[in-house]
Every structure is written in structure tokens, then in C-alpha cells.
Structure 1
Amino acid sequence: MTSKTDAPPSYEEALHLPKSDHSPDQPQHGAPLPPPPSYSPSPGMYLGPPGYWGPGGAVYPQPSMCSGPGFSPAGIPIATLSSGLPASNQGDMDDFLSNQWESMSVRHAFIRKVYLILTVQLTITFSVIAIFTFVDPVKLFVIRYPVIYWASYGVFFVVYCILICCKEPRRRFPLNLVLLGIFTFAFSYMSGTVSSYYETKAVFLAMGITAVVCISVTVFCFQTKVDFTSCGGFLTIAAVLLMIIGIVTAIVLSFQYVPWLHMLYAAIGAVVYTLFLVYNTQLLIGNRELAISPEEYIYGALSLYVDIVNIFLFILQISGAATE
């Protein structure tokens, strides 16, 4: 029968007992274990995972001592967030940036093409207006035969409807250019006919004001962050009201009532078409709620051209009435 002191130790005590009694550093059976040394990290000490030596004198187990499941072998770095994106994600990012750059290049080429076509159209239009203003025989001819004006108005309306419906320049590229040329000459003849009824001073004044308005609107649209492309419904209502006011004005002026109503109608028309110019310019630029496709450069040039010429005609009515 054994005594209590000869009984085997418990499981908890066996975990702390030395495996060999020959080690002089190990405490004897039954003696209390010394407490572990206190540890407080010094400033700047690396509190990384096991397998690294910490600065400031703190020693972590060497990588060779921690080899096994769950530990990285010695000599192999551990991946961190600063290692960058994986190869596949980096390639996707490069593709995204290249696509963005390509889309910007396409949009810039589209804008240059639209303004080149618009420049040619405005050159033709204001050249015709200058001929009808300065050449007296031509001026007298268009005033004497107004039927040509109404014929050009019919051609203008029909060709305009065709160009609005045909927005596929790749399939109908030559046809659209021919129709655009016919439309430009028809509208130029109409503008020249209207200009022939006014003095040369009023025509030049209207040209100058139109140029200032168009340049200011273009600079404003390229600089502002306000999105006017979401105001399409408002502009549609304004266009309908302008048409109604024009019909009422034509009826009232035929009876010689309210002579100043004509100038009021012209002022409203100039403001409405200036708003249309802002709207169509932002559609052309892009980066807004709505934008014109880069394939519809003929439609883009057509919309800007109609807005600018209509602004000129309305301002011409105001300046002509003022000079009289």
C-alpha cells in the first residue's frame, strides 16, 4: 500500500513536470513553478506573426522552430496588402483604363468632326446672306419672287425630316452628306431671303450678337458641371409654346394689332433656341445623363446648325425692328 506522497501526479501536474529528473534546471516535484517573465512591447517593436525577430530586443521563435502546418517555411515571404493586385485584376484595370482612354479619343474625334461640318455649313449660310444683303439685283430678285422662298422652305422641311429619321451614317453615309448639303443650301436661301428685307446695319449687328452668344454658350457648356440634358421635357414644352405664340403673332399682326408683339415673339424665340443650343452642345460633349453616339456626327452638326441660324434670324428681327 502506497502513501499519498508516492501516488502518481495528476494530469495537470504531469504537464508541468520535467520529463527527466537529471535536468538541474527543472524544479523538484511539488515545488511551485516560477511565473513567466513579464512582457511589455517597447515603442516601435514589431508585433508580427511568429517566425520573426522583433526589434528592440524582443526575440520571437526562428522560422525553423515553427515549421509545420499553419506556418510559412523559412525564406518564403508572407503576402500582404502592399503586394499589389493579382495579375488578373491588374490586367482588368489596364483594360479598363485603355477603354476609357479610347472612348475619350473617339469622343474628341467626334467633336472635331461635328464642328468641322458645322463650320462649313455656317460659312455657306453667311456667304449666301452676304450676297443677298450686298448685291442689289439678287436682293430685288428674291423680294420680287417670294415663291422661291416658299419652295426652299418646303425643301428645308422635307430634308430635315429625312435627316432626323436617318441616323445611320455607316450605311447611308453618301446619302446623308448629299441631303445635308441640300438642307444647308435650302436653309441658307431662306436666311438670305429674310435678310434681304432688313438693312445692312441690322444684319451685321445680328451676326455679331449671334457670334458672341454661340461662343459664350460653347465655353459655358465645356466648363459647367450643370447637366442640361435632363431638361428635354422642359425644352419640348418651350418649343410648343413658341409655336403657339408664333401662330397668334401672325394672326394679330395681320390685323395691325399690338405692333410690339412681334419683337416679344422674337425675343422669346432667341432665348428658347439659345437653351436648345446649350442642350445640344452638352449632348455632343458627353459625360452627362444623355449623349449623342459618336456615329451620329451628321445629326450633331445638323442640330447645332439649326439652333445657330434660328438664333441669328430671331436676333435679326429684333435688331431690324430697333433700327427702323
Structure 2
Amino acid sequence: MEVSVFKRRETSDALISAPLYNFVIGLTLAWGLLANWWMVTHIDPYAILSINPMLLFIGYFVCCFAGIYLCNKSDNPWVSFLGYNLVVVPFGFVINLVVAQYDPQVVIEAVRVTGLVTIGMMAFGTLFPAFFARIGGALTIALLLVIVVELVEAFVFKMHHGILDWIVALIFCGYIGYDWGRANSIPKTVDNAIDSAAALYIDIINLFLRVLRILGRR
């Protein structure tokens, strides 16, 4: 799910300062992550499992793609924020089901590791934007290749190699630096900040799920 906000080079919206722009990104990310925390702590995973699987599957993709569409097409911050939440909620259901399988201490450790890695990769993305811009294509190819390998392993060989989790985690580390660098290369508006946060949110959650899986095996 690609958020095309990073292709924007011109805007008629009011520009804001770089610190305020990054603050809005951080605030939007915090909203989504706190919403996911609330869902995990207040929604029984068995209630989610009681939903018809096909309905859950279709609802997940409809909400995510509708959210990405709103982020891509709207230049209204409130509409983009609605789109962002349409992405956050279905991801929250997935996170809920996944973390229910792990010891709470492992989950907390995964949150801590993900947070530290995210901050580090954002710093690298700020310091070396040209490097991350060059590896964007390689990250996409690598991710698609790993997805194909995982699908073949799961459905043909009925197995999963742990090394793939490490590879995917590294890919999403790269994506965080890549998307952070791209977020700071476009016009700094409130709407662009929210849309950039949507892309970074997806990167961070995918990284967290892989880190959790790696730590859970340990």
C-alpha cells in the first residue's frame, strides 16, 4: 500500500515550519499507536475471532485501501486524518490478535526495541537522505521477493524460516529512514505531515510485528 504523498512537489496550502511539521508527524503517529494500544488492552481477541473470517478479511482490506485513497487524494487535513484512522483501526485488530499469542514482557520489549530503532532510523534518514533515496527501489524489490518466498514456504512447504523475519525487519528499518527522508523533502503542510505519518505508521507496525516474532521465538 503506497502513499503517494511523497510525489507532491507543489502546494497551494499554507506552509508551516520544519519543527512544527515534524511535530505534527510525531503527534499523528502517537495518536495511531495509542489507539492501537487502547484496542489491545480493551478489545478481547476472542471477540475479533468471533467475526466471520471472510468478513474480517474483506473489511480489513476495504478500510486500509479506503484510508490510503483518502490520504492520497485529499489536501484537507481532516479528511486525511480520517483516512489515517481507517488504516490504524484494521491494523489494530491484527496487532491485537498477534500480541495475544505472546507473553506481555516480550510485547513490551518489542515495543521498546521498535521505538529505539524507529528513532535511530529517522535520525539516519535526516542525516543521509540521499543514501535512502537511492535504496528505495532496492527495498521494494527485496520486500516483494521476500513476500513471494514466504507465501511459497507457507502454502507449498508448510514451513517458515526465521531468517526471513530478520530480513523483513531490516527492510522496514530501511523503509522508515527512506520515508522519513521523503517526508522532509516535500512541501511542509499539515496535510502532508498527516499523510507522511500514515506511510511511517505502516512501516513501524510492520517492523514491530517482525521484532515481536523474533523475540517471541527467543
- Shorter-chain TM-score tier: 0.7 to 0.9
RMSD: 2.7
In the alignment, which of 244, 247, 251 is matched to residue 155 of structure 2? 251
AA in 1 matched with 2:171 = V
- Supply the distance in 1 between the matched residues of 2:129 and 2:178 (Cα, whole angstroms): 13
Question: Which structure has the larger Rg?
Answer: 1
AA in 1 matched with 2:206 = N
1:310 aligns with 2:206: yes
AA in 1 matched with 2:74 = P
* Paired residue secondary structure (1:119): helix
- Supply the distance in 2 between the matched residues of 1:298 and 1:155 (Cα, whole angstroms): 23
User: Which 5+ residue runs of structure 2 have no aligned equivalent?
Assistant: 1-13
How do 1:96-111 residues align onto structure 2 when only pairs under 5 Å count?
105-111=16-22
| 1:201–1:271 distance in 2 versus 1, CA, 3 Å | same
- Supply the distance in 1 between the matched residues of 2:167 and 2:19 (Cα, whole angstroms): 33
- Supply the distance in 2 between the matched residues of 1:165 and 1:112 (Cα, whole angstroms): 24
Deviation at 1:216, TM superposition (A): 1.4
- Supply the distance in 1 between the matched residues of 2:129 and 2:145 (Cα, whole angstroms): 28
2:169 aligns with 270
In the alignment, which of 185, 194, 212 is matched to residue 298 of structure 1? 194
Deviation at 1:146, TM superposition (A): 6.3
Answer whether contact 2:39 2:92 (CA < 8 A) is retained. Answer: yes
Deviation at 1:293, TM superposition (A): 6.1
- Name the structure with the higher helix share: 2
1:194 aligns with 2:98: yes
- Supply the distance in 2 between the matched residues of 1:173 and 1:209 (Cα, whole angstroms): 31
1:125 aligns with 36
- Supply the distance in 1 between the matched residues of 2:97 and 2:110 (Cα, whole angstroms): 15
Answer whether contact 1:129 1:192 (CA < 8 A) is retained. Answer: yes
1:177 aligns with 81
| 1:235–1:116 distance in 2 versus 1, CA, 3 Å | same
**Paired residues, number:** 203
Deviations 1:110-155 (A, max 9, x none): 22222211111111112323446xxxxx24444x53646x644433
Answer whether contact 1:163 1:179 (CA < 8 A) is retained. Answer: yes
AA in 1 matched with 2:172 = Y
Q: TM-score, normalised by structure 2?
A: 0.79
- Supply the distance in 1 between the matched residues of 2:163 and 2:216 (Cα, whole angstroms): 13
- Supply the distance in 2 between the matched residues of 1:127 and 1:205 (Cα, whole angstroms): 18
* Paired residue secondary structure (1:198): coil
Answer whether contact 2:114 2:207 (CA < 8 A) is retained. Answer: yes
AA in 1 matched with 2:33 = L
Greater RCO structure (CA 8 Å; 6+ sep): 2
Answer whether contact 2:68 2:83 (CA < 8 A) is retained. Answer: no
Q: TM-score, normalised by structure 1?
A: 0.55
- Supply the distance in 1 between the matched residues of 2:184 and 2:80 (Cα, whole angstroms): 22
* Paired residue secondary structure (2:204): helix
Answer whether contact 1:283 1:292 (CA < 8 A) is retained. Answer: no
* Paired residue secondary structure (2:143): helix
User: Which 5+ residue runs of structure 1 have no aligned equivalent?
Assistant: 1-101, 133-137
| 1:292–1:192 distance in 2 versus 1, CA, 3 Å | farther
1:283 aligns with 2:176: no
Deviations 1:61-119 (A, max 9, x none): xxxxxxxxxxxxxxxxxxxxxxxxxxxxxxxxxxxxxxxxx97x544432222221111
1:157 aligns with 61
1:230 aligns with 134
Deviation at 1:157, TM superposition (A): 2.4
Answer whether contact 1:152 1:190 (CA < 8 A) is retained. Answer: no
Answer whether contact 2:125 2:132 (CA < 8 A) is retained. Answer: no
| 1:247–1:115 distance in 2 versus 1, CA, 3 Å | same
| 1:241–1:293 distance in 2 versus 1, CA, 3 Å | farther
2:23 aligns with 112
- Supply the distance in 2 between the matched residues of 1:230 and 1:163 (Cα, whole angstroms): 28
| 1:285–1:124 distance in 2 versus 1, CA, 3 Å | same
How do 1:48-63 residues align onto structure 2 when only pairs under 5 Å count?
none
| 1:252–1:209 distance in 2 versus 1, CA, 3 Å | farther
| 1:114–1:131 distance in 2 versus 1, CA, 3 Å | same
